[in-house]
Amino acid sequence: GDSVTQTEGLVTLTEGLPVMLNCTYQTIYSNPFLFWYVHYLNESPRLLLKSSTDNKRTEHQGFHATLHKSSSSFHLQKSSAQLSDSALYYCALRTYGGSGNKLIFGTGTLLSVKP
């Protein structure tokens, strides 16, 4: 079935270093939609990025990701981490089926950026 696998657990970075959070997926659909959500403590999970067409980069708030169907990936990147980037990041795959459109989430990656 459809699934999402992302970098698990905690990623600790020093401010200014590049960010890369991995996300791969499995689906039978030829045109998948992938999303990155960011979840700050005591706030709503918020959409950060959504995928476009194959091999096209999408960007928002300094983060970027490119859907690569050849490798079933949608890795989240940022050139320079900021302290305010510390949060939980979830990769999600939109699936289709008898129960309608729904999102399947990865296990989440906690990004901790230190001075």
Partner 1 sequence: GALVYQYPRRTICKSGTSMRMECQAVGFQATSVAWYRQSPQKTFELIALSTVNSAIKYEQNFTQEKFPISHPNLSFSSMTVLNAYLEDRGLYLCGARDDSQNTLYFGAGTRLSVL
Least distance to partner 1, CB of residue 49, Å: 11
Choose one: 19-27, 70-78, 79-87, 96-104; the region binding partner 1 (CB under 8 A): 96-104
How many CB atoms within 10 Å of residue 16? Answer: 11
6 CB burial (10 A radius; 0-12, 13-18, 19+)? buried
Among 64, 73, 108, 110, binds partner 1 (CB under 8 A): 108
Q: Which is nearer to partner 1, 79 or 107 (CB)?
A: 107
> Per rule CB under 8 A, is residue 115 in the interface with partner 1?
no
Q: Which is nearer to partner 1, 15 or 105 (CB)?
A: 105
Q: Binding to partner 1 (CB under 8 A): which residues in 19-58?
A: 33, 35, 37, 42-47, 50
> Per rule CB under 8 A, is residue 84 in the interface with partner 1?
no
β 3-6/23-26 pair status: antiparallel
What would the 3-class secondary structure string for 46-115 be? Answer: EEEEECCCCCCEEEECCEEEECECCCCECCEEECCCCHHHCEEEEEEEEECCCCCCEEEECCCEEEEEEC
* Site for partner 1, rule CB under 8 A: 33, 35, 37, 42-47, 50, 90, 98-108
